[in-house]
Amino acid sequence: MTEKIPGRYRLVVIFFLIMTAASFITRIVLCVKSLPAMELSLPLLAKIFGVGLFFDVVAFSYALIPFAILIVVIPDRVHNWRISRIFSQIFFFIFTFAMLFNGVSEYIFFDEFATRYNFIAVDYLIYTTEVIRNIRESYPVGLIITSLTVITVIPFIPISRAVSRTFPSNAPLRKRAAISGSILLLPIASFFFVDLAMTEISPNNYANELAGNGLYGFASAFRNNELDFNKFYAAKDDNLVMNHLRTLLVSPDKHGIAREIHGKGAMKRHNVILVCVESLSAEYMTAFGNNKGITPNLDRLAKESLFFTHLYASGTRTVRGLEAITLSIPPLPGTAIVKRPGNENLFSIGAVMKNHGYDNHFIYGGRGYFDNMNYFFANNGFKDIDQTDMTKEEVTFKNAWGVCDEDLFDKTIKQADISFAQKQPFFSFVMTTSNHRPYTYPEGKIDIPSGSGRDGAVKYTDYALNQLIEKSKMKPWFKETIFIIVADHCAGSARKLALPIKNYEIPMLIYAPNIVKPKIVDKMMAQIDIAPTLLGLLNISYSSSFFGRDIFDKNINNERAFIGTYQKLGYIDGNRLLTLDPGKKVEQYSFTRADGNTTPIPADDRLLMNGLAYYQGSAYTYKQKLGRVAQ
């Protein structure tokens, strides 16, 4: 096939065939894996592989840029050297191995997140120490690399022969420049005219993911770490949107959304320990239908607490949960505010509590530079404590992501003792790590072996939470302390639908036997409502720039929540869902709470306006730096 193509340009063809063949095989494997979640038909299959091939070519066009440049700058004399031939053989062996390795990596990533490479992959690339260690603890990396190296030899035999036949090559500079210029037109056209939204070929999210290309998806996520709402979404006039938002929030502010919140009596200076549990989906608890018995302590504690059974997580990453709880703001498109530059001195729960005399600490079991957590909290009303602040004696077990939850909670109790001794009410925001792959924890604590999977990690976290409560009961500050247990996000949100409502459900418990009476709260609640609700329980009066609200405010009638990925935004209003996508795409559905199944409904301008008020309004206030805390 390549014999008809002159000289060194056959290398480009070989490069193309390797890349597209690897992508094609990867797509077949992922398609087979996704069959239970897809209603596959021949037209849909044709779309998946047709659009998939298109994106494979687009990804190839970007990868081809260095080739196009080298074709011009390397003269025939150098190209035909023996060392150049050897280098070409080595390069194509490594490239073939890399494509096979990428296929395995995509499979593992798809198995974990049910999606191609996206924002999560970009984040993981930045924090290589934790991620590489996590991979080594979770998978037999040595065996995988050795096996792939051996397997690479099989396709490389014909590839090596094809590469050898491209030498010698003779082409004048003018001809090389003309061909390279033509080649470069492809990535240029792709940059301006191709968008990841073109993979949306079906209502089924799995089909859309299969139609994409993992490497292209990775590059797209890296490029679009922040998305301008007015540019990419179905925005309306900012003044119109902000006026409607002020109406929804009952704010008299002519510029932002500030309004006065008045406590329902004298301020209650109770201590607060808020435990943000890694990946604690509602589906793990018995109250939500789980019959495995992996949360016996939480199940018991729920009966003694304010138990919130209709709460939705804002997103699918820890930073989204931290953002929602601390800032009480809907998820902005792109990366979370926690990781953005210029995220200092925002209006936050930390600022309010600090202004009312609380000793605030963000206590994390891992290293707080991960996801920029330490910087964010340190510049928004908290003092940081992480794994690096723990002595050797305080750490009994750790893995790639941090110390075990028991060690973290023991450190939390020690800090509470210090604040209490200083006669300061304390607010501890505690972020756990044990319920995360590789799912390892101290042996002998529960009846599921360490490292055996998610169920064991959930049950260990449940055990550790009980230890926190029981040890705290022995402290003089216990009777005046409110414990809040809530998830940062659910364990997995990527399903058949791009925004699977059911999979955003998370539990929340507010436990304080001497302060709050046990009760089931089944009113719909967003993660951004947690901070205002906590401040309401404490009867704290403050000037608010929160987008959330006190769930116990009797003046609130409508039920609404916010869910999203880094691009797709969802606004839930009762039993209706509004979705906003880049490309100014708007869709509306009705859904059933029991299973989350959605049905398209006619457009409702009121629903759209309410959703835009929150999403466009939050993007506007953040961009304009409204509601910042004066320093």
Provide the pLDDT for residue 125: 65
Q: Work out the pLDDT band at 426, boundaries 50, 70, 90.
A: very high
CATH 3.40.720.10 assigned to domain 238-623? The reply is: yes
Q: Compute CA distances 115 → 12, 422, 446, whole Å.
A: 30, 49, 32
**Cα–Cα distance measured from residue 395 to residue 402, given in angstroms and rounded to the nearest whole number:** 10
Q: Work out the pLDDT band at 343, boundaries 50, 70, 90.
A: very high
Q: Does residue 277 or residue 625 have the better pLDDT?
A: 277
Instruction: Pinpoint the alpha helices (H) of 513-629.
Output: 530-537, 605-623
User: What are the tens digits of pLDDT across the range 539-563?
Assistant: 999 999 999 999 999 888 889 999 9
Provide the pLDDT for residue 196: 80
Provide the pLDDT for residue 2: 46
**Cα–Cα distance measured from residue 31 to residue 210, given in angstroms and rounded to the nearest whole number:** 7
Q: Which of 115-129, 267-281, 381-395 has the lowest mean pLDDT?
A: 115-129
**Cα–Cα distance measured from residue 53 to residue 201, given in angstroms and rounded to the nearest whole number:** 14
What is the pLDDT averaged over residues 435-450? 95
Residue boundaries of the structural domains of the chain:
2-223, 238-623
Q: Are 435 and 279 a contacting pair, CB within 8 Å?
A: yes
Provide the pLDDT for residue 497: 63
Arithmetic mean of pLDDT over the chain: 92
What is the pLDDT averaged over residues 24-43? 91
Q: Work out the pLDDT band at 492, boundaries 50, 70, 90.
A: low
Q: Work out the pLDDT band at 323, boundaries 50, 70, 90.
A: very high
Q: Which of 170, 526, 460 is nearest to 313 (CA)?
A: 526
Q: Which of 27, 19, 55 is nearest to 190 (CA)?
A: 55
Provide the pLDDT for residue 557: 84
Q: Are 318 and 371 a contacting pair, CB within 8 Å?
A: yes
Provide the pLDDT for residue 1: 44
Q: Work out the pLDDT band at 493, boundaries 50, 70, 90.
A: very low
Burial class (CB in 10 A: 0-12, 13-18, 19+), 23: buried
**Cα–Cα distance measured from residue 317 to residue 278, given in angstroms and rounded to the nearest whole number:** 9
Helix or strand run (H / E) with residue 319:
helix 318-327
What is the pLDDT averaged over residues 381-410? 96
Q: Work out the pLDDT band at 76, boundaries 50, 70, 90.
A: confident
Provide the pLDDT for residue 156: 96
Q: Is the pLDDT of residue 135 over 70?
A: yes
Q: Work out the pLDDT band at 378, boundaries 50, 70, 90.
A: very high
Q: Which contacts (CB < 8 Å, 24+ apart) does range 392-396 have? A: 396/442
Q: Is the pLDDT of residue 122 over 70?
A: no
Give the DSSP letter string of 405-446. Answer: HHHHHHHHHHHHHHHHHTT--EEEEEE--SSSTT----TTSS
Could you tell me the maximum CA-CA distance found in the chain, to the nearest angstrom? 88
What is the pLDDT averaged over residues 344-349? 97
